[in-house]
């Protein structure tokens, strides 16, 4: 039996939780993307080849995939609060350790540790959304937290070049790595489950649970049993086929602008900011679209799938990005694809919380994320070989 909550809850603590998830994802992507921004500097100073860089990216993605498989069941067992806290502590230390590396092997080890920790971000975040939001708001909440990835991608080309030029690339890794510990203090102080949070009003708690079955009706599904569900395989396929697109943007977009349009560390900022601002709009807009369709009477399943279809169509112009001569024409095409990809991701993530018990959301997110990481590993190896061989 579901509980019908008031239209306007007396408190809005769930949106503070959403803000914390947003900032965690922002930090996650700053620590992840920094190596892409510093690639030309590190390549010149340390003598990396394109294959070396491809291998460094490969080991991050290998660890990310392993971490996703391992972290989902752990987070489902110990909860979002402790799981998220442990993950951000691991990846923040790993981010700072990059400053000690001098060889491709050293960077690969640091990236491996970073990947293990960062893997827990989205499983923990989407599990938190499932705990704190009714279904009609989940896609919007997922879109907002997912937009943190793009804000991180915007902040990185603004902040990192300044740090690297003024203080050295080692300081850039250390300072950005410290951000995670600032977030950790706020998370441990504020996060509780809705029913345990003193600031949550009775009306907000009723609203959160208004379209969700009671916890006792949602037993945790054994990890191995998840592979017998069609929804798991649909999520695996979606992540395997679409995550490599985002990894390509994240790790090679600065290099594309450098080689195709002559940009350098000082001039990456404006085009990258434009791309990721468009991605922010797409992330939130994609979540808003399905939520709006559901509120207007479309079923949850149909609303999510309609939003996915719109986003998939909007990606198609990306095939022309490398053939246009103007920088801002390329930025517009890539930005549209990035926006559509992020809108797709917001709805794909939310479908997991729509179709699986809250107690199994992190596990399913981990399985699908691992499939996406495998796709990204294959992509990074292929791109490195192609760039080394043909240069474009």
Average pLDDT over residues 8-14: 77
Best CA proximity match to 41, nearest among 180, 179, 163: 163
In a domain, 4, yes or no: no
In a domain, 24, yes or no: yes
pLDDT digits (tens, 9 = 90+) for 247-280: 787 777 877 888 788 787 677 778 888 988 898 8
pLDDT digits (tens, 9 = 90+) for 172-230: 999 999 999 999 999 999 999 988 888 988 888 888 888 765 543 566 788 888 888 99
Number of domains forming the structure of the chain: 1
pLDDT at 3 over 50: no
In a domain, 122, yes or no: yes
pLDDT at 6 over 70: no
Angle at alpha carbon of residue 127, lines to 124 and 129, rounded to 5°: 110
pLDDT at 392 over 60: no
Residue ranges making up the domain that contains 66: 13-390
In a domain, 233, yes or no: yes
Query: What's the pLDDT score for residue 232?
Result: 92
Best CA proximity match to 36, nearest among 128, 202, 156: 156
Tell me the C-alpha distance between 247 and 253, whole Å.
Answer: 9
Q: How far is CA 129 from the centre of its chain?
A: 14
Radius of gyration over every alpha carbon of the chain, rounded to an integer in angstroms: 20
Taking CA atoms, 204 is separated from 7, 134, 209, 216, in Å, by 9, 10, 9, 20
- Residue 147 pLDDT level (bands cut at 50, 70, 90): confident
In a domain, 3, yes or no: no
Encoded tokens for 100:
């000690």
In a domain, 256, yes or no: yes
Place of tokens 């609303």: 303
Q: What is the CATH number of the domain that holds 186?
A: 1.20.1250.20
pLDDT at 5 over 60: no
Query: What's the pLDDT score for residue 7?
Result: 58
Q: Supply the pTM of this predicted model.
A: 0.77
In a domain, 111, yes or no: yes
Tell me the C-alpha distance between 334 and 325, whole Å.
Answer: 13
């Amino acid at each position: 039996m579901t509980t019908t909550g008031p239209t306007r809850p007396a408190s809005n603590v769930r949106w503070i939780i959403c803000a914390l998830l947003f900032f965690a994802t922002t930090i996650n992507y700053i620590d992840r993307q920094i190596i892409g921004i510093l690639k030309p500097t590190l390549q010149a100073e340390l003598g990396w080849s394109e294959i070396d860089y491809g291998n460094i990216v490969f080991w991050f993605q290998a660890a990310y995939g392993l971490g996703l498989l391992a972290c989902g069941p752990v987070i489902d067992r110990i909860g979002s609060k402790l799981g998220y806290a442990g993950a951000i502590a691991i990846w923040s230390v790993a981010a700072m350790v990059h400053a000690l590396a001098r060889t491709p092997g050293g960077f690969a080890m640091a990236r491996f540790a970073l990947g293990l920790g960062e893997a827990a971000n989205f499983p923990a975040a989407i599990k938190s959304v499932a705990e704190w939001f009714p279904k009609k708001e989940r896609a919007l909440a997922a879109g907002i937290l997912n937009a943190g990835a793009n804000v991180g991608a915007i902040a990185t080309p603004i902040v990192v070049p300044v740090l690297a030029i003024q203080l050295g690339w080692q300081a850039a890794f250390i300072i950005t790595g410290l951000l995670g510990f600032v977030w950790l203090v706020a998370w441990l102080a504020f996060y509780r489950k809705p029913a345990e949070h003193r600031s949550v009003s009775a009306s907000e708690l009723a609203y959160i649970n208004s379209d969700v079955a009671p916890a006792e009706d949602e037993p945790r599904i054994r990890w191995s049993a998840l592979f017998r569900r069609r929804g798991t395989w649909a999520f695996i396929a979606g992540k395997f086929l679409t995550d490599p697109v985002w990894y390509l943007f994240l790790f090679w977009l600065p290099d594309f602008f450098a080689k195709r349009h002559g940009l350098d560390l000082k001039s990456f900022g404006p085009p990258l900011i434009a791309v990721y601002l468009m991605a922010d709009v797409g992330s939130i807009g994609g979540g808003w679209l399905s939520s709006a369709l559901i509120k207007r009477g479309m079923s949850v399943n149909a609303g999510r799938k309609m939003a996915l279809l719109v986003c998939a169509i909007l990606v198609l112009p990306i095939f022309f990005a490398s053939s246009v001569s103007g920088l801002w024409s390329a930025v517009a095409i890539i930005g549209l694809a990035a926006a559509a990809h992020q809108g797709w991701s917001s709805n794909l993530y939310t479908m997991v919380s729509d179709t699986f018990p809250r107690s199994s959301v992190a596990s399913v997110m981990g399985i699908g994320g691992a499939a996406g990481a495998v796709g990204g590993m294959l992509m990074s190896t292929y791109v490195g070989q192609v760039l080394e061989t043909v240069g474009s």
